[in-house]
Amino acid sequence: MTRPAAPSTTDALDTALDSAPDTALDTADRLEPVHRTIARHARRTPDAPALVEDGRTLTYRELDAAAARVAAELRRRGAGPGQVVAVLAPRGTDAVVGALGVLRAGAAYLPLDPAQPRERLAGILRTAAVELLVAADSAAALAPLPADRVLLLDACPAVDEPSAPAGPADLAYVVFTSGSTGEPKGVLVGHDSLANLCAWHRQAHGTGPADRFSAVFSPGFDGAVAELWPALTAGAQLHLAPASATLEPARLRDWLLEHRITVSLLPTPLAEALLALDWPADCALRVVHAAGDRLRARPAPELPFAFGNAYGPTENTVWSTEGPVTPDGEGLPDLGLPVAGALVRVLDEELREAPVGEPGELYLAGPGLARGYVNRPALTADRFVPDPTRPGARMYRTGDLASRRPDGRLDFLGRTDRQIKLRGFRIEPGEVEMAVRSHETVADAHVMLHQSAAGDRLVAYLVPTDLRRWTSPAELRAHVADRLPEYLRPGVYVALERMPLTVNGKVDVAALPEPPRTANRTAQGPLVAPRTALERAVAAAWCAVLCLAEDELGVHDEFFELGGYSLLAGQIVERLRAELGRPVPITLLFEHPTVAGLAARLAEQAGPAAVPGGWQHSEEARHPLSLLQEEVWFLAQLAPRSVAYSTQTTLRVRGPLDLDLLDRALTAQARRHSILRTSFVADEDGRPWQIVRDPVEVRAERLDLRELSAADQVHRVRELVAERAERPFDLGRPPLYRWTACRLAEQEYELILVEHHFVHDGWSYVVLTRELGELYDALRTGRAPQLPELDHQYADFARWQRSAATGPELAGQRSYWLERLAGAPQRIALPTDRPRPRHQTFHGGRLRFDLPPQVPSAVRELARRSAATPYMVMLAAFVLLLHRRTGERDLCVGSGFANRRKETEHLIGMFVNSVVLRNEVPAGASFRDLLAGARKTVVDAAANQEFPFVELVRALRPPRELSANPLFQVMFNFHDTPTEELTLAGAPVAVYEHENESAKTDLNIIVIPHGSRRVGTEDYLDDRMTVLWEYSADLFDRATVEAMAAEYVELLTAALADPDAPVA
């Protein structure tokens, strides 16, 4: 039943205003609700255009009629003054009609953007106690209310009914903004405040029916209030910009010109971008207002329109101050002077006026002051405080710091709290932090704004609850996207081992690392595409290895700026070798680290040199061992029960897992890689051979641990890892790897993988896990796996290596090593806690820790500035530590190099080769000097990494002792093989490395730079650098190793702070 219309108390006011000229501005005009003003325009100029969108025009008569239909249906359903009705519609005609219809019904409208997460929309509706919702047909399915409480705009019947009697004191709208407690807060604004804003706008800017306003803001943002109602109450045209026009400044400029827009309110970043564009002198645009963020740009003198800087929070009806921005001003533009009758005060902590030029907090009052926050009385009392100069009046405490100039203009100085303004949106970090923390694997989070020349970004620093069950970047992004609208979502995530804290227990913002560079791109001018065939070949190799699209790489971009390091450099030169048909020394890439520079240097090289000999694939079952395997075989005969050459990891799977399907994937992988079904046996003469067996089914052992508590599960998994690691492999019985699947919960598993070094190295592990994910997903979905064809197998590499090691192909590398290591020390004089035993027992221990949060980013930054890699920086610090501990200046350190070429890129097996890094420490050297030396040493070693270490030992013939490794006794390794996000059918997988209480050398330092290993995730950085110190338990006590590790971190930190200070 339709509710009878109540007698109007404003009929006389309507009659008076209908006959008054538009220029008249009195109290009645300031207090008239906006829907009545718009209805008056509909009566006076019914055929004037009101809304223009995508070529469709709605006149004032049509707009008024459409709103009347919505109002009548809402009033039939019980809506009226004091109630809040939501409007769910994208920016466009439907959103305007819906809002105007709610106002005509006498209720207050609550604008909602359908692009926001459904969970957030539902929370807003609960907070505002919304009973009715008006929805555009396109958004109705997203409405988080029962269907009988949703009114479709196109379903309202035609009626002719007057507006409900909403007066100046009634509520006009509610807009929700980000909340510091983690929940958005709704601001209540009355009709009098909204009418006052519109009346001021008409008077101050002389707007009227001849004007054309633009609309670019989201309907859920208060900027839409300041462009929608001032336009329609002026009888002007409101042109609704298409979404595509708001994404690119140039397209927006063209749209503004095409539609002959005269007045435009824009988010500050978009307005700043428009200032940098060319504008015709005769454009219709006469004024542009920038709002929502701190303005940093000034217009050019020839700009053909006025440019203003607007300031004002939602709590004071959007607009509180404004000032013209001139080309010749000094410093950042100011906030201008109070507008729309606003009372703007700069007060100290005692609520006294701050002297001119002195900082204070901005307080706002006057006709634009909002009622408070919906259903948040405590917050309302905290922010809307009594005005000590006006009894009974209130003022809003903004949290913004400002100072007043002698002429009254205001300068913005910052915030008193953590609130952020980004791209025109007000963001409370606490709300974002709560969304991030709500993920079960996140223990702590800190959100802040990171500003750079490349653009401002919201950064979320987070700490995992348990490294063994860490989330994936994709899952975390999806989790946050389900809870926050786009503008509140962090642009980048940085994972930390722990949150740095000050002595007062607050987050130490200065110690937080730099986030990854925007899109991994440099800021060295415009991108220049490859211009020659050679540049295109080089660029293609870079893009493939660095995971960049062709249009993301310019010929002048630097390898190190793009996150490059030694291992990636090796992959690039291998791809170029295969593409160009000639060797490409890795040193060229380090000496010429741009596409243009490298291509030019390659073009200068004399004709093509000989390419390494081709490989021959053999289907025979018996093959010789590679020289790398032969060395391990020899050590295995000396200590057959040793587990030093076994490695163990666990993979925590959080999600559904079909173990039978996993077995099928493991079996398919063993069929694909013959090394996974190879045995190693000696013939009658004692010579070892590898024998490739026929494919058989591979099955993971199943264990159900669901009945154990969480703590007992952790303990039991550790026991299982130790038990399986301590059980030696029988080299004659494949497979030389074991899988165990432990079920922890209905949808959570811990997979234990133990492998022998004969079938494993760090690169192989990445290949294995990447392929396993693809095979599993392909079997689950019934499709063919998308994996590269394997033209060779590990046995082919073994035969090639044995032939090349004594032939001309590696003769140059052999000569390099013999010359480089001539006269090198055979032992390092590192003090030990006990004498060296007669035989190596391989008994060891391991110390594991993460570098302090601020160190990894500092390592990367020094490496970038030095055209080096993080590995080189940390190696130089380790050499410095050895120098301090031994007093020696000639130090040999071992390191495992990937030793991969194009032919072996997708193979599993033992390819890693030990190299000797001979480092000199000159007297009086600075750390930068040591870094330069380490850089050259590593680059040269990388260029000669294929010559087998066992052949080098035979050539140098050092004194052989069973108690120590030849040529080096300490190692420094960087596990930076690039990894991809690992999932099993969408279930995130977290990998964790375990120790087996063994040590192959006296000391082996292993650095795992988690961030460097990720590829294809520019918005996510696992900033942790985990450092493992494996040590011989025969030589060192754990306390000694802990002291060495602490000294290493101190030396590294000091060197990063002042790399030019003398250290030697």
| pLDDT tens figures, 587-599 | 888 888 888 888 8
Alpha-carbon torsion, ordered 97, 100, 106, 112, to 10 deg? 80
End-to-end CA distance of the chain: 92
Q: 632 in a domain, yes or no?
A: yes
Distance between CA 240 and CA 655 in Å, rounded?
A: 44
Distance between CA 592 and CA 1036 in Å, rounded?
A: 43
Give the per-residue pLDDT at 21.
34
Could you tell me if 590 and 716 lie in one domain?
no
**Residues whose CB falls within 8 Å of the CB of residue 458, separated by 6 or more in sequence, listed in order:** 420, 422, 427, 432, 447, 448, 449, 450, 488, 489, 490, 491, 492
Q: 155 in a domain, yes or no?
A: yes
Tokens 């509180």 sit at which residue? 320
Tokens of 147: 């269907």
Q: Please provide residue 274's backbone torsions phi and psi, each rounded to the nearest 5 degrees.
A: -65, -30
Give the per-residue pLDDT at 1033.
94
Residue-wise pLDDT for 807-835, tens only, equals 898 999 999 999 999 999 999 999 999 99
Distance between CA 856 and CA 515 in Å, rounded?
A: 11
Residue 754 has pLDDT above 80, yes or no: yes
Beta strands in 225-359 (DSSP E): 237-240, 263-267, 287-291, 306-311, 321-324, 337-338, 343-347
**SS3 state of residue 209:** coil
Picking from 586, 570, 617, the residue whose alpha carbon sits closest to that of residue 912 is: 570
Alpha-carbon torsion, ordered 390, 414, 178, 173, to 10 deg? 40
Distance between CA 1061 and CA 1040 in Å, rounded?
A: 27
The runs of H, that is alpha helices, within 438-546 are 473-481, 533-546
Which residue did the predictor score with more confidence, 704 or 486?
704
Could you tell me if 56 and 119 lie in one domain?
yes
User: C-alpha angle with apex 987: 983 to 992, nearest 5 degrees?
Assistant: 60
Distance between CA 36 and CA 17 in Å, rounded?
A: 10
Could you tell me if 874 and 776 lie in one domain?
no
Could you tell me if 565 and 469 lie in one domain?
no
Q: 122, 138, 167: which is the final residue of a domain? A: 167
**Residues whose CB falls within 8 Å of the CB of residue 55, separated by 6 or more in sequence, listed in order:** none
Tokens of 247: 């994404």
Amino acid at residue number 365: A
Give the pLDDT band (50/70/90) at residue 1011. Answer: low
Q: What percent of the chain has pLDDT over 90?
A: 54
Tokens of 595: 């596409």
- Residue 536: Cβ-neighbour burial (10 angstroms; 0-12, 13-18, 19+): middle
Tokens of 830: 């590192």
522 and 452 in contact (C-beta within 8 Å)?
no
Q: 421 in a domain, yes or no?
A: no
**Residues whose CB falls within 8 Å of the CB of residue 176, separated by 6 or more in sequence, listed in order:** 110, 124, 127, 128, 184, 185, 186, 187, 220
422 and 487 in contact (C-beta within 8 Å)?
yes
Residue-wise pLDDT for 197-239, tens only, equals 999 999 999 999 999 999 999 888 889 999 999 999 999 999 9
Tokens 């396109």 sit at which residue? 138
689 and 682 in contact (C-beta within 8 Å)?
yes
Distance between CA 754 and CA 739 in Å, rounded?
A: 7
CB atoms within 10 A of CB 841: 16
Question: Which residues lie across from 386 on neighbouring strands?
Answer: 394
Distance between CA 963 and CA 758 in Å, rounded?
A: 23
Distance between CA 730 and CA 756 in Å, rounded?
A: 10
Q: What percent of the chain has pLDDT over 70?
A: 92
Distance between CA 1002 and CA 1011 in Å, rounded?
A: 28
Q: How far is CA 904 from CA 440, 660, 734, 960, in A?
A: 39, 30, 22, 32
Q: What is the DSSP string of 676-741?
A: GGEEEEE-TTS-EEEEEPPP-----EEEE-TTS-HHHHHHHHHHHHHHHHHS---TTSS-SEEEEE
String of b and e for 280-290 (b: at least 16 CB within 10 Å)? Answer: eeebbbbbbbb
- Of 159-163, 698-702, 870-874, least confident by mean pLDDT is 159-163
Give the per-residue pLDDT at 760.
85
**Domain interval for residue 539:** 533-604
Could you tell me if 693 and 743 lie in one domain?
yes
- Of 3-7, 18-22, 672-676, least confident by mean pLDDT is 3-7
Averaged pLDDT, 881-897: 95
Give the per-residue pLDDT at 161.
66
What integer best gives the mean pLDDT of the chain?
87
372 and 365 in contact (C-beta within 8 Å)?
no
Could you tell me if 930 and 1049 lie in one domain?
yes
Averaged pLDDT, 77-106: 95
Best-predicted range by mean pLDDT among 482-491, 636-645, 998-1007? Answer: 998-1007
421 and 458 in contact (C-beta within 8 Å)?
no
**Residues whose CB falls within 8 Å of the CB of residue 725, separated by 6 or more in sequence, listed in order:** 643, 646, 648, 754, 994, 996
String of b and e for 349-388 (b: at least 16 CB within 10 Å)? Answer: eebeebeeeebbbbbbbbbbbbbbbbebeeebeebbeebe
Q: 1048 in a domain, yes or no?
A: yes
- Could you tell me whether strands 646-654 and 987-994 are parallel, antiparallel, or unpaired per DSSP bridges? antiparallel
Give the per-residue pLDDT at 289.
95
The H or E element spanning position 749 is strand 748-756
Best-predicted range by mean pLDDT among 173-182, 529-538, 730-739? Answer: 730-739
Question: Which residues lie across from 427 on neighbouring strands?
Answer: 420
Tokens of 114: 């359908």
Residue 688 has pLDDT above 50, yes or no: yes
Give the per-residue pLDDT at 25.
39
Q: What number of residues does the chain have? A: 1064
DSSP class of residue 332 equals S
Q: How far is CA 588 from CA 97, 597, 752, 866, in A?
A: 65, 9, 42, 16
Q: 142, 167, 192: which is the final residue of a domain? A: 167
Q: 167, 191, 222: which is the final residue of a domain? A: 167
The CATH code of the domain that includes 981 is 3.30.559.30
User: C-alpha angle with apex 794: 790 to 799, nearest 5 degrees?
Assistant: 120
The CATH code of the domain that includes 35 is 3.40.50.980
Could you tell me if 883 and 1022 lie in one domain?
yes
- Of 80-84, 153-157, 163-167, 542-546, least confident by mean pLDDT is 163-167
Could you tell me if 837 and 884 lie in one domain?
yes
Give the pLDDT band (50/70/90) at residue 468. Answer: low
Residue 1015 has pLDDT above 50, yes or no: no
The H or E element spanning position 967 is none
Residue-wise pLDDT for 943-1002, tens only, equals 899 999 999 999 999 987 877 889 999 999 998 776 667 888 888 888 877 777 778 899
Could you tell me if 702 and 773 lie in one domain?
yes
Averaged pLDDT, 915-938: 95
Could you tell me if 630 and 599 lie in one domain?
no
The CATH code of the domain that includes 489 is 3.30.300.30
- Of 401-415, 429-443, 610-624, 785-799, least confident by mean pLDDT is 610-624
Question: Which residues lie across from 594 on neighbouring strands?
Answer: 558
**Residues whose CB falls within 8 Å of the CB of residue 561, separated by 6 or more in sequence, listed in order:** 517, 522, 524, 864
In the chain, how many domains are there?
5
Give the per-residue pLDDT at 245.
85
Distance between CA 595 and CA 602 in Å, rounded?
A: 11
Question: Which residues lie across from 373 on neighbouring strands?
Answer: 187
Question: Which residues lie across from 218 on neighbouring strands?
Answer: none
Which residue did the predictor score with more confidence, 682 or 1023?
682
**Residues whose CB falls within 8 Å of the CB of residue 82, separated by 6 or more in sequence, listed in order:** 107, 108, 170, 171
Averaged pLDDT, 390-416: 92
981 and 1016 in contact (C-beta within 8 Å)?
yes
Give the pLDDT band (50/70/90) at residue 728. Answer: confident
Give the pLDDT band (50/70/90) at residue 11. Answer: very low
Q: 174 in a domain, yes or no?
A: no
Distance between CA 54 and CA 241 in Å, rounded?
A: 8
Give the per-residue pLDDT at 572.
85
Q: 312 in a domain, yes or no?
A: no
Residue-wise pLDDT for 283-317, tens only, equals 999 999 999 888 888 998 999 999 999 999 999 99
Q: 617 in a domain, yes or no?
A: no
Distance between CA 938 and CA 1061 in Å, rounded?
A: 23
CB atoms within 10 A of CB 595: 29
Could you tell me if 673 and 746 lie in one domain?
yes
Tokens of 1044: 């060495």
The CATH code of the domain that includes 542 is 1.10.1200.10
Question: Which residues lie across from 133 on neighbouring strands?
Answer: 86, 150
The runs of H, that is alpha helices, within 32-169 are 34-44, 60-76, 93-104, 118-127
Could you tell me if 754 and 897 lie in one domain?
no
Give the per-residue pLDDT at 477.
84
Q: 915 in a domain, yes or no?
A: yes
